[in-house]
């Protein structure tokens, strides 16, 4: 016989499923101005020192075409590249680290956060942008987002082979859930709306350049977590996020 909590979880899962069928995921993608406001709020709270000139230079988001929708893309999200990777591009690990720090701070009065011990943003022996990944631009950039449904229950290794001209989520997945779309955490159930894998990051769980894992973003009762999983294994509740 199921416990009370199991019945509640089952009800929430069915409700999430009904909402997903009734309304497109597009509904949950905020417009340009709302995303800019979210970044301004985070910038002020965290003291990132993103100046007004950078905000003023933000262009219009790309339009989502019928082909985009066919390929699983649901809208355009605003991201930011922090730091420098010594080659003129943003530091993708720093960009994820700062966004996760904001998630930890901003979600204290919501469901909180959980961080796997092996996700160590400060140690390059544990995390990196994967070698074949596209470098990230500095400052603000819009990209079309596919939030994992296209690659639901598919291993990260398999997704990487199919990316083509698409880009896997790296810092973008963290920034999406932490900065611009924290409300999306509530509707991720791992079934109808998958938890999100970040295929453009590599994780070495033992810190010896053994990069065979990737980070995953998951949610339980409005708690946002970042964990890891082996890139060769499919995980039933997860799907890789991608950009275009």
How confident is the model over 81-101, as pLDDT tens digits? 999 999 999 999 999 999 999
On whether the CB atoms of residues 106 and 174 are closer than 8 A, the answer is no
* Mutual angle of helices 32-46 and 92-106, in 10-degree steps: 80
Q: List pLDDT tens digits, range 200-214.
A: 999 999 998 899 999
Domain annotation covers residue 14: no
Q: pLDDT over 90 for what percent of the chain? A: 83
Identify whether 4 is part of a domain.
no
Any domain includes 8: no
20 in a domain, yes or no?
no
- In this structure, is residue 2 part of a structural domain? no
Is 224 contained in some domain? yes
Residue 47 lies in a domain: yes
What is the phi/psi pair of residue 216, to 5°?
-125, 145
Whether pLDDT at 13 is above 70: no
CA 67 from centroid of its chain's CA atoms:
22
Q: Output the CA–CA distances (angstroms, integers) from residue 8 to 2, 12, 124, 185, 194, in the order listed.
A: 10, 6, 41, 18, 19
**197 lies in some domain:** yes
Q: Where are the beta strands (DSSP E) in the chain?
A: 75-81, 113-115, 127-129, 139-146, 167-168, 195-197, 201-203, 213-220, 223-230, 238-240, 242-243
pLDDT class of 111 with cuts at 50, 70, 90: confident
Q: What is the mean pLDDT of the chain?
A: 90
Residue numbers of the domain that contains 202: 26-243
Cβ count within 10 A of residue 46:
16
Strand partners, 75: 145
E runs forming strands in 109-193: 113-115, 127-129, 139-146, 167-168
**How many angstroms separate the CA atoms of 217 and 177, rounded?**
9
**For the segment 122-172, what is each residue's pLDDT rounded down to a tens digit?**
999 999 999 999 999 999 999 999 999 999 999 999 999 999 777 999 999
Residue 11, pLDDT above cutoff 60 = no
Return the H-helix or E-strand segment holding 94: helix 92-106
Please check whether residue 81 is in contact with residue 137, taking contact to mean a CB–CB distance below 8 angstroms.
yes
* Beta-carbon contacts of residue 94 (< 8 Å; ≥ 6 apart): 82, 83, 121
* Count of domains for the chain: 1
Mean pLDDT within 179-202 = 96
pTM, two decimals, is 0.89
Closest CA relative to residue 95, chosen from 185, 171, 8: 171
Q: How far apart are CA 75 and CA 243, in angstroms?
A: 10
Q: What is the pLDDT of residues 20-48, one digit of tens each?
A: 443 445 568 999 999 999 999 999 999 99
| 12-21, 75-84, 171-180: the lowest-pLDDT one | 12-21
Query: Residue 199: its pLDDT value, please?
Result: 98
Please give the pLDDT value at position 160.
96
Percent of the residues in the chain that have a pLDDT greater than 70, as a whole number = 89
Q: Among 198, 227, 194, 230, which Cα is nearest to 211's?
A: 230
- Locate 173 and state its tokens: 């997945």
Which of 26, 25, 21 has the alpha carbon at shortest distance from 63?
26
């Amino acid at each position: 016989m199921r416990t009370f909590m199991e019945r509640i979880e089952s009800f929430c899962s069915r409700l999430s499923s009904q909402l997903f069928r009734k309304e497109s995921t597009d509904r949950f993608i905020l417009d340009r101005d709302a995303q800019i406001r979210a970044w301004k709020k985070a910038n002020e709270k965290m003291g990132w020192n993103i100046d007004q000139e950078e905000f003023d230079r933000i262009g219009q988001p790309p339009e989502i075409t019928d082909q985009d929708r066919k390929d699983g893309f649901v809208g355009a999200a605003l991201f930011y590249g922090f730091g420098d990777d010594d080659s003129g591009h943003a530091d993708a690990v720093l960009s994820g680290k700062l966004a996760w720090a904001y998630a930890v701070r901003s979600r204290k009065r919501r469901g909180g956060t959980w961080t796997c011990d092996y996700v160590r943003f400060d140690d390059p022996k544990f995390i990196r942008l994967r070698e074949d990944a596209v470098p990230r631009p500095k400052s603000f950039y819009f990209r079309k987002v596919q939030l994992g449904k296209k690659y639901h229950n598919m291993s990260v290794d398999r997704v990487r082979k199919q990316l083509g001209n698409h880009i896997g989520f790296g810092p973008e997945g963290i920034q999406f859930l932490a900065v611009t779309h924290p409300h999306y955490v509530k509707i991720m159930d791992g079934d109808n709306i998958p938890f999100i894998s970040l295929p453009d990051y590599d994780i070495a769980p033992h810190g010896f350049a053994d990069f065979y894992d990737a980070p995953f973003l998951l949610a339980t009762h409005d708690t946002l977590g970042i964990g890891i999983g082996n890139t060769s294994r499919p995980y039933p509740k997860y799907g890789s996020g991608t950009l275009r």
